[in-house]
Structure 1
């Protein structure tokens, strides 16, 4: 009923998971993640509490292979499908005999792909190949694998939801919660495509890509990003037009006044001064 990929970035130590399914809000059900501890995928007819139990085992120092072996021998988990990844890149997966066909898993170096009730046997090999062949940040490699799985058929029943989570390989602190990315599409006709759009939007926020945000940010904020984009490229007329559009909205003049000391808006002010 679900296909997913878990993986570790060898360069940064980040850990992550991407998953899609024809159920509502799969991000609530399949992933269990904790910075500095690991990532778990719990699929098929698994007990709802199994993900938490596997994370607890990782916290105690139990290896992914031992955790998977225990679950495989537990009578109550005969129908489960699980994958477990720790901060060092050790990974293990298992598909219980009660999982729905077509089902299975493939384990590689620092990653695994798994799925059940798949449209074809091509889904998992396509995901594995895409993950290993794609460069760049972990989030993009996870999304590439998920996209390849969907393109190969994905969930036999259709499409509804998807999720992408990336966390630090180091424990959370007071200054850093360790969450690098947490995006979910709970109900969509094309959730994997929607998840890619959210990833691109998140990248634009992170990288202060004002040109992109001027087009794709929520409508009420687009003029703000248009002003910032115009300031960056030195376009005085466009910056003034965007600021005038913002001031015309109720409440925005007061907000702009309160942000007078913000370094980004200071650039706009200098351009118009």
Structure 2
């Protein structure tokens, strides 16, 4: 009923889980990851405990295969579970229960695993695996981990995806840094809970994420929320050197109730000073 990927970026050491399904809000149940520790996808007749319990064991240095074997041994019905575990060093372990709904299975590669159940056909997983291989990092400028995983989900969807259709998707990426405050090491956490085309919406959210990270005012002026969109258009005009348009936009934005303080603080401080010269 779901197809997913767990993966490690060999360059950055980031860990990630991506998933798509024809259920409501798949991101609430399937993906788990902890910075510098590992990542887990738990699906089929999902037992969420595989996520936190698996990560707790991986955090002690226990291997994914040992961890998965232990947790399956404590499960009263492991034959209906599908679980993938990835350690911080890129080693993986995957279980597809014999009673998972067909088409079901998994494939593994260098630092990644793809798995699915109740798939439309037997070509879904090979398509995902091929996308992971084709988009493998080769040096500077290579696809980032999130983009690799999204491309794999899209390949799976093109091959048929979930037998029932599509509804939700999620993408979770955590840092390689194993710090004292792991909640501050979440690189990306995007979820589409209900959509006719969840992967297209997930792609849009990833574009927005990258635009915020890179202060890409041109993209934010097109894709950002309606309210701040005019602010980003002002910033883009200033970036291009079109100070006349930027000053006009700044003056108009200042007339909005409550916006004056925002425009003069934080990231806009220097721009506001420039536009008032």
TM-score interval, normalised by the smaller of the two chains:
over 0.9
Work out the CA distance in 2 between the residues paired with 1:32 and 1:81: 14
In structure 1, the residue matched to 2:166 is 159
**Which runs of 5 or more structure 2 residues have no equivalent in the other structure?**
136-141
Deviation of 1:110 (Å): 0.2
Corresponding residue of 2:7: 7
Question: Residues 20 and 146 of structure 1 are in contact (CA less than 8 Å); yes or no, is this contact kept in structure 2?
Answer: yes
Q: Aligned pairs, how many?
A: 270
SS in 2 for 1:132: helix
Detail structure 1 runs of 4+ shifted over 6 Å in the superposition.
none
* Distance change in 2, residues 1:56/1:254 (3 Å): closer
Q: What does residue range 1-273 of structure 1 map to in structure 2 within 5 Å?
A: 1-73=1-73, 74-134=75-135, 135-174=142-181, 177-257=184-264, 259=265, 262=266, 264-273=268-277
Q: 2:120 is paired with a residue of what secondary structure?
A: coil
TM-score with structure 2 setting the length = 0.92
Q: In the alignment, is the contact (CA less than 8 A) between 2:22 and 2:165 conserved in 1?
A: yes
Structure 1 CA distance for aligned equivalents of residues 237 and 219 of structure 2: 12
Distance 1:75 1:173, change over 3 A: closer
Classify the secondary structure of the residue corresponding to 1:249.
coil
By how many angstroms is 1:194 displaced?
A: 0.4
Secondary structure of the residue aligned to 1:78 is helix
TM-score by length of 1: 0.93
What is the alpha-carbon root mean square deviation over aligned residues?
1.7
* Contact 2:40 2:50 (8 Å CA) reproduced: no
1-structure distance, mates of 2:6, 2:13: 13
